[in-house]
C-alpha cells in the first residue's frame, strides 16, 4: 500500500495585478506601488490606507525613479511633484499633508484627461527609455520638473538662444524645449509679447526616429543650455556621428532626417 505525503509552504508575496491589455500597465503599477509601499505588514488581505503623508509618498516616487533611470530626483523635483499632485503651487511645505489614493491615481489633474500617476509614470518610462544619460546626475542636461510659468520666468532675462528642457504638462510621456528669442511673438488679441517660445513636445515615437541630443544639435536657435552652458559643451558627447552617405547596392542614397523650426 502506497501512501502519499504532501507539505504546503505559505509565503507572503508582493502585490500582483492581472491585466488583459498593455494600456492597463500604468494603472496596475499604481496599485502595486501604493500597496507595496504603504500597506501594514500584518494587514488583512487587500486592506491599504486611503491616505498617506506626502513625505512618504515623495520618498517612494524618488526610489522608483532612481531604480528606473539610475539617478534620483532633487528636493526641488519632489517639491514640484507635491505641487502637482495637490493642485497647489503656493504652500511652503507639503510633507505632512495627507495624499489620498484618489488624488494619486483616480482623479484627473485640473483641465487634463489623465491622473497624476499616469503623468508621472509616463515621464519615468520616457526618461528610462530615451533620456537616461541626459538625466544622469553627472550630466543633468534636463531640468525636467518645472512649470511653463516658472520656465518663462527663469528664461525671461537670459540671452537669446538660452534654452531648457522640461517635461510636458499637457501631453503624457513627452518633453519640450523652451528657448529665448529677441523676436517677440505678439498676440493679436491681447498685444502681449512672448520672449520665450516652446517647441511642440516630443515623445517615445519621436525619439525612436531621432534622439533628443541630435534634435538639439539640428536647431540653430538653441545656443546655451540654462543657465549659460554652450550647447555643444552640454550635449556634444551625446551626438551621434554623422552618417557616411554612400549609395546602397541598389544605387540609392539614404536620406537624413533633420529637425527644423521655420524662421
Determine the pLDDT at residue 214.
94
Give the pairing of strands 162-167 and 224-225: parallel
| Three-state SS letters, the chain | CCCCCCCCCCCCCCCCCCCCCHHHHHHHHHHHHHHHHHCCCCCCCCCCCCEEEHHHHHHHHHHHHHHHHCCCCCHHHHHHHHHHHCCCCCCCCCCCCEEEHHHHHCCECCCCCCEHHHHHHHHHHHHHHHHHHHHCCCCCCCCECCCHHHHHHHHCCCCCCEEEEEECCCCCCCEEEEEECCCCCCCCCCCCCCCEEECCCECHHHHHHCCHHHHHHHCCCCCEECCCEEHHHHHHHHCCCCCCCCCCCCCCCCCCCCCCCCC
pLDDT digits (tens, 9 = 90+) for 208-230: 999 999 999 999 999 999 999 99
pLDDT digits (tens, 9 = 90+) for 178-200: 999 875 555 444 445 568 999 99
Which has the closest alpha carbon to 149: 124, 166, 162, 133? 166
Sorting pLDDT into bands at 50, 70 and 90, what band is 20?
A: very low
pLDDT digits (tens, 9 = 90+) for 130-143: 999 999 878 789 99
- The mean per-residue pLDDT over the stretch 59-83 comes to 93
pLDDT digits (tens, 9 = 90+) for 32-46: 788 877 777 776 666
Would you say residue 78 has pLDDT above 60?
Answer: yes
- C-beta of residue 85 within 8 angstroms of C-beta of residue 99: yes
What contacts 24+ positions apart, CB below 8 Å, involve 29-36? 29/121, 30/104, 30/105, 30/117, 30/121, 31/105, 33/60, 33/64, 34/101, 34/104, 34/105
Point out the least confidently predicted range of 27-31, 67-71, 107-111.
Answer: 27-31
Which has the closest alpha carbon to 235: 141, 144, 148, 171? 141
pTM, entire model: 0.83
Q: What are phi and psi of 128, to 5 degrees?
A: -60, -40
Q: Partners of 224 in the beta sheet?
A: 162, 230
Kindly give, in sequence order, each residue whose CB lies less than 8 Å from that of residue 16, ignoring residues fewer than 6 positions away. Answer: 32
Length of the chain: 263
**Domains, the chain:** 25-137 (1.10.238.10), 141-238 (3.30.505.10)
For the beta carbon of residue 178, count every other beta carbon within 10 angstroms: 21
- C-beta of residue 27 within 8 angstroms of C-beta of residue 114: no
Determine the pLDDT at residue 253.
76
**Termini Cα distance of the chain:** 91
Determine the pLDDT at residue 232.
93
Amino acid at each position: 500500500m502506497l501512501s502519499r505525503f504532501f507539505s504546503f509552504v505559505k509565503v507572503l508575496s508582493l502585490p500582483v495585478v492581472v491585466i488583459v491589455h498593455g494600456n492597463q500597465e500604468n494603472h496596475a503599477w499604481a496599485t502595486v506601488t501604493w500597496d507595496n509601499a504603504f500597506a501594514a505588514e500584518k494587514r488583512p488581505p487587500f486592506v491599504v490606507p486611503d491616505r498617506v503623508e506626502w513625505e512618504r509618498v515623495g520618498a517612494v516616487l524618488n526610489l522608483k525613479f532612481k531604480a528606473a533611470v539610475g539617478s534620483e530626483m532633487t528636493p526641488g523635483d519632489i517639491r514640484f511633484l507635491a505641487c502637482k499632485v495637490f493642485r497647489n503651487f503656493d504652500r511652503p511645505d507639503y510633507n505632512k499633508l495627507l495624499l489620498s489614493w484618489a488624488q494619486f491615481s483616480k482623479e484627473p489633474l485640473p483641465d487634463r484627461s489623465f491622473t497624476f500617476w499616469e503623468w508621472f509614470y509616463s515621464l519615468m518610462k520616457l526618461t528610462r527609455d530615451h533620456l537616461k544619460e541626459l538625466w544622469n546626475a553627472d550630466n543633468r542636461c534636463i531640468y525636467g520638473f518645472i512649470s511653463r510659468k516658472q520656465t518663462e520666468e527663469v528664461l525671461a532675462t537670459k540671452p537669446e538662444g538660452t534654452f531648457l528642457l522640461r517635461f510636458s504638462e499637457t501631453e503624457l510621456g513627452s518633453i519640450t524645449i523652451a528657448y529665448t528669442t529677441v523676436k517677440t511673438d505678439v498676440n493679436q488679441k491681447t498685444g502681449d509679447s512672448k520672449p520665450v517660445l516652446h517647441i511642440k513636445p516630443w515623445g517615445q515615437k519621436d525619439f525612436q526616429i531621432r534622439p533628443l541630443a541630435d534634435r538639439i544639435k539640428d536647431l540653430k536657435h538653441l545656443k546655451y543650455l540654462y543657465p549659460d552652458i554652450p550647447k555643444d559643451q552640454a550635449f556634444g558627447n551625446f551626438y551621434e556621428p554623422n552618417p557616411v552617405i554612400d549609395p546602397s547596392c541598389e544605387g540609392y542614397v539614404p536620406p537624413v532626417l533633420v529637425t527644423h523650426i521655420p524662421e
